[in-house]
Amino acid sequence: MKIAVVFFLFCAACYFTHRLYLAHFRKKAFSGLSYTVKVSHDERFGGETVSFSQTITNNRAYPIPCLKVETTLPTGLWFLLPDGKEGERRSTHVDSVFFLPAQSSVTRTWFLYCENRGEYQFGDVMLLTEEPFGMLSISERMKGDARLRILPRPEEKLCGFALQDFYQSSHSRSKGFLPERSLVRSTREYTASDTFRDIHFKVSARQGKLMVKEYDHQKTDIYNVILNMQSRIMEPHGGLTISRPDHIEDCIRICASLLDSAAAEQVPITLYANTRSEEEGALFCSGDFCGQDELPAAYRMLAAIPMEMSMQTEKMLDLILSDPGVYARGGKLAFVSAYLDRRMLQFAENMQKHGVETAFFITTTYQNDESIPEKGVTVYVRYPSGDYREVYHEANRAT
């Protein structure tokens, strides 16, 4: 009987000792650990890379035999991981396993590919470790505070002609989006701030140095851009959910191209969009941007636009038509959209009655109306190849 009692007490002591040991391990497993993150840049353009460093420090007097670190990136960022066959592959998740000695630290550095514009806060990790005898596995999330703003990269193929004379058209209309300039008033010597398109080559040849044209005035001193956040003619269930965010990202890159072209011409630009705004029932308004000095702020504004639609396209068009002078100062309006439907073309015709010419910049080819008016409306379409082509009224199409 005594032996049974002693054995019972021994087993009970072992059980409670084991429970206390596991409770202590669970409480102290991650004590004394510190975690820091940093990125090489706090601002990049889409398509560029940054380095992302994680440092875990063990401040305790004893080592951690096995520490697993799981890191997941938000949508729009990718780890660039080595691949023996293809060079590298992309992933949003990586795992690392460390042996972490006492009073030491380990740092891992990754390269991240910046795909989508936006403002990111990331760097959280999940730490996992096991009790030395394998009786217990525990995990804990540690916070990171890496911040990165990805700016939309302008479309190079569009910047060259979005607001300048590019297409050599046979029609008797203004080429490009900026109106043609008035007669040359005089010439002066070229400076670094001048554009090459203003060089007067005949005078430069006579003078033996670069000379640029000076104009009396430019007809349009400001223009506005409308960004349509609706990605399809009919969004699912007729609601405000954006079903194709990739189409809208393409639209935002077009807006970046327009901003870039406007900055080169020193022309003020304002962006309106049917996304979240400070005033309910109103369009988002960026305020005016003008010149190269304000271009970074304009890009940051585009990076911060949320992927949200505040009103459908029909309502936005009606809102603009209710007061065209507010949304189309200067008589020129750029309309950026994933599609072109009949209602939008009717909108352009109505704006023309108010003395406003509309240029559409469209990012898809499969959901567009072809009933383009003969005058007063310009349509540029982005094809799958990435090229932009102007689409004409049937009477003006090349035979």
Per-residue pLDDT tens digits for 295-305: 999 999 999 99
Which one, of 341, 329, 333, lies nearest residue 258 by Cα? 333
Write down the H helix ranges in the chain.
2-28, 156-159, 201-207, 245-265, 295-303, 313-321, 324-327, 342-353
Which one, of 252, 300, 290, 341, lies nearest residue 119 by Cα? 300
Within a domain: 116: yes
* Predicted confidence (pLDDT) at residue 229 exceeds the cutoff of 60: yes
* Chain segment 71-113, per-residue pLDDT in tens: 999 999 999 988 766 678 899 999 988 888 889 999 999 999 9
Q: What is the pLDDT of residue 8?
A: 72
Do 138 and 162 belong to one domain? no
Within a domain: 23: no
Do 223 and 212 belong to one domain? no
330 vs 21: which has the higher pLDDT = 330
Only one residue has tokens 């994933």, namely 338
Within a domain: 187: yes
Which tokens is 245 given?
């965010």
Do 196 and 251 belong to one domain? no
Q: What pLDDT band is residue 185 in, cutting at 50, 70 and 90?
A: low
Domain that holds residue 206: 182-217
Residue 220 φ then ψ, to 5°: -100, 120
Within a domain: 311: yes
Q: What is the CATH number of the domain that holds 326?
A: 3.40.50
Within a domain: 359: yes
Which tokens is 277 given?
């705004």
Q: What is the pLDDT of residue 163?
A: 54
- CA-based angle 154:223:179, to the nearest 5? 95
Do 255 and 138 belong to one domain? no
Within a domain: 206: yes
For the ranges 151-155, 170-174, 298-302, the lowest mean pLDDT is seen at 170-174
Per the structure, how many domains does the chain have? 3
* Chain segment 259-275, per-residue pLDDT in tens: 888 887 788 889 999 99
Do 223 and 213 belong to one domain? no
* Predicted confidence (pLDDT) at residue 359 exceeds the cutoff of 50: yes
Do 93 and 125 belong to one domain? yes
Q: Which residues contact 251 (CB under 8 A, 6 or more apart)?
A: 227, 228, 229, 336, 337, 338, 361, 363
Q: What pLDDT band is residue 64 in, cutting at 50, 70 and 90?
A: confident
Q: Quote the CA–CA distance of 276 and 387 in Å, as a whole number.
A: 31
